[in-house]
Amino acid sequence: MFNEPLFHLGQYINMMRLVISRPNKFSMFWKELVRQMYDIGIGSLLIVALICIFIGAVTAIQFNYQLDGTLVPKYYIGYIVRDITLIEMAPTVTCLVLAGKVGSNMASELGGMRQKEHIDAMDIMGVNTYNFLIGPKILGGILVIPMLVTVGAAISIMGGFLASVPTGMLSQEQYIQGLNSFFVPFNVILMLIKAVVFSYLLTSVSCYQGYYVKGGSIELGKASTRAVVISDILILVADYILALLLATK
């Protein structure tokens, strides 16, 4: 029963051991890293912006609905949008979405290379394919996804503003007052810690699924789906653990 999960865990750990090794050539690693950073960052900016603007907008509208008729001041909407964005929505939802976009892309790319014998060809040349093919993807993700999450958080807060101020839900001053209230700088750190952990999980799991794919196009499709599903589950589990470790008093 536990044989297969243990086998995959062992193979994953072994893969990571080989990923973290000296590149054959730093200039080639750097070139690949820049390509990955561009693909992950610029390639995902629009979808992240779109999702985050709606997250902020919906959060503002729903909290306005919940606070209606209570004694809680209206400016709390700004405060709630800010904190829920920083602590939960921006890192978690962005990374769940990126697991679908970036993760499945990585799994497909590596899986396709495996099936077309590109990885074997590189292995024969003496290339450390773990380091050269997987390393830049994981490192690129860890460097760029927190930036995307930060941009996403700012856009989400703007989304909250756009949904509430122009519609007359509350005034601009109230929203800004909310944003300035009860600010805990650690929440920004918490957001970035989550983003780094989630980006590591989604990139490494997706690379693992793609690198070790066996069989044909059906198996490649399954590996791509598995990459997204496992990444999403691990992100949610890690979110819970991080909340327990870092956000409980």
Partner 1 sequence: MIKAIDIKKTYGDNEVLKGITTTFEEGKCNLIIGRSGAGKTVLLKSLVGLVAPDKGEIWFGKINLLSLNKQQTRILRNQMGMLFQGSALFDSMTVEENIRFPLDMFTNMTYKEKIIRVNECLERVDLNGKNKLYPSELSGGMQKRVGIARAIVLKPEYLFCDEPNSGLDPKTSILIDQLIYSITQERNITTVINTHDMNSVMEIGDTINYIENGMLAWHGGKENVLESDNESLQNFIFASPFLKKLRSQAGK
Contact residues toward partner 1 (CB under 8 A) are: 18, 24-25, 28, 116-118, 120-121, 123-128
**Nearer of residues 114 and 194 to partner 1, judged by Cβ:** 114
Please, which residue, 105 or 231, has the CB nearer to partner 1? 105
Radius of gyration of the chain (CA): 21
At its nearest, how many Å lie between partner 1 and the CB of residue 128? 6
CB of 115 to partner 1, least distance (A): 10
Beta-carbon contacts of 141 under 8 Å, excluding residues fewer than 6 positions away, are: 36, 40, 102, 199, 200, 202, 203
Min CB(129)–partner 1 separation in Å: 10
**Position 36, amino acid:** Q
Residue closer to partner 1 (CB basis): 94 or 108: 108
Cα–Cα distance measured from residue 204 to residue 135, given in angstroms and rounded to the nearest whole number: 9
CA distance 211 to 132: 12
Dist. CA 220–CA 202, nearest whole Å: 17
Question: Residue 126 Cβ, how far from partner 1 at the closest point, in Å?
Answer: 4
Closest by Cα among 86, 76, 43 to 188: 86
**Residue among 85 and 105 whose Cβ is closer to partner 1:** 105
